[in-house]
Amino acid sequence: MQSAVSNWQSKLNALGPGILMATAAIGGSHLVASTQAGSLFGWQLFWLIIVVNILKYPFFRFGMEYTLATKQSLVEGYKQKGPGYFYSFIALNIVAAVVNTAGVLLLTASLLHYALPISISVTLLCWLILAVCLLILLLGHFKALDNVSKLIMGLLTVTTVAALIVAINNGAINHAVVAPADYVGPSPYELAMLGFMVALMGWMPAPIEISAISSLWLKEKQHQQAVTKQQGLFDFNLGYWLTAALALVFFSLGVLVQYGHVQAVQLGGVAFAKQLIDMYALTMGEWARPLVSGIAFLCMFGTTLTVLDGYARTLNESHKLLPVKQSKHSLNMWLLLQAFAGMAVILFFKSALGPMLTFAMTLAFVTTPVFAWLNFSLVRSEASIHHSTLLRILSWLGLAYLVGFAVVFLVWKIT
């Protein structure tokens, strides 16, 4: 009995990188993309959320396994595979770091602006949120991030599930509140909707570069304490499947609260989030407004925090592997550069952030097959890593699906 208790205690103590991955994933892909899919198409894409999470699972897992087995990050693995992969990763990572930082920061500030009883400009709120995030990260770095992310994920899970239970109890599951009896929703299976579906899948459950970020978080965790393969995979599986479950919860909330509403669904992230909160208040009562605002803000604040730290770590790790001199404060330097580059995008290209986020989500999906295969090939080259027949089959199915869908999308865009 004592052994079982201490085994669970050791697993809980090792929690961190998987929970951080979940916190990073829930922003754009869950609050915006998952909820939009439910709001626009009802239950028609419920299966797609499940399938995408299952088929991408091996490639995120391989990142953690590679670091557990080799004590190296995925970025180091990319460097060893060849300069083409390594420099492609750096280029894509820089674009993703700046665009994603700008997008999640603006959405977080807009949600806070909407919830506050006093009027403060969104730009000023962006600066304030950025300052709080930087203070947490510069003063506490990984330990502070680790602790804050666990608190955010705990609160987020409880409040989101509570909102779903309330929506179901209010009778929305039968569309009695939102959708008219004769309402027939649009079909997602038309060629014109391919772009939306690709964007949805690109960030579901997260962009593929999050696997590299997770491996760096694991390396940092290993510097603080020993992490066994069993503990590391427990942490990863908990974070990954919690992320997948919350994607389904947000999708369901989109269906139950907004599907079939007479008001057109806004596709812009900020406009959509505000509209969603209004819909909650209309459907569930004004008392729900603070609850939903809190969920949305927690969602985006946690994502902003982890996006800032995670991308800065990958940029810093890439810098380390280049034949150039590096300062001992280079992580802080990259963190500040990324933060202010994201803020510059907000200040100068604010009106284009919606299209930029869609571009980032689409780019994430198109590049996923390359880095999915790369993660797969890295773990296959390690003799100490063994996989079950089921996981190997799932890996090949996932690769076939990702490559096939990416090719179809590229052909559609070209023609």
pLDDT in tens, 167-221: 777 764 444 445 666 677 788 888 888 888 887 887 788 888 888 888 988 888 8
For residues 6 and 195, the answer to whether their CB atoms sit within 8 Å is: no
Please state which of the ranges 191-205, 249-263, 265-279, 286-300 shows the lowest mean pLDDT.
265-279
Q: Work out the pLDDT band at 311, boundaries 50, 70, 90.
A: very high
- Say which residues have a Cβ less than 8 Å from residue 16's Cβ, sequence separation at least 6: 146, 149, 150, 217, 218, 221, 235
Tell me: the pLDDT tens digits for 11-50?
555 566 778 888 777 776 777 788 888 888 888 999 999 9
Residue 364: its pLDDT value, please? 75
For residue 359, pLDDT beyond 90: no
- Mean pLDDT throughout 221-247? 86
Q: Per residue in 374-386, is it b (16+ CB within 10 Å) or e — as a string?
A: bbbebbeeeeebe
For residue 337, pLDDT beyond 90: yes
Tokens of 60: 């995120």
Residue 2: its pLDDT value, please? 46
Residue 273: its pLDDT value, please? 61
Residue 10: its pLDDT value, please? 58
Residue 358: its pLDDT value, please? 72
Please state which of the ranges 167-176, 222-231, 232-241, 362-371 shows the lowest mean pLDDT.
167-176
Q: How far apart are CA 58 and CA 56, in angstroms?
A: 6
For residues 142 and 225, the answer to whether their CB atoms sit within 8 Å is: no
Which of these, 198, 239, 158, 219, lies nearest to 45 by C-alpha position?
198
Helices (H), 321-388: 330-349, 353-380
Q: In the chain, how many H helices and how many E strands?
A: 15, 0
For residue 335, pLDDT beyond 90: yes
- Mean pLDDT throughout 115-120? 77
Q: How far apart are CA 406 and CA 79, in angstroms?
A: 25
Residue 174: its pLDDT value, please? 46
**DSSP secondary structure letters along 150-209:** HHHHHHHHHHHHHHHHHHHHTTGGGTSSSS-TT--PPPTTSGGGHHHHHHHHHTSS--TH
Domain segments of the chain as ranges: 2-414
Tell me which amino acid residue 315 is. L
Q: What is the CATH number of domain 2-414?
A: 1.10.4160.10
Residue 368: its pLDDT value, please? 83
Please state which of the ranges 94-98, 100-104, 278-282 shows the lowest mean pLDDT.
278-282
Which of these, 32, 73, 53, 224, lies nearest to 145 by C-alpha position?
224
Q: What is the pTM of this model?
A: 0.84
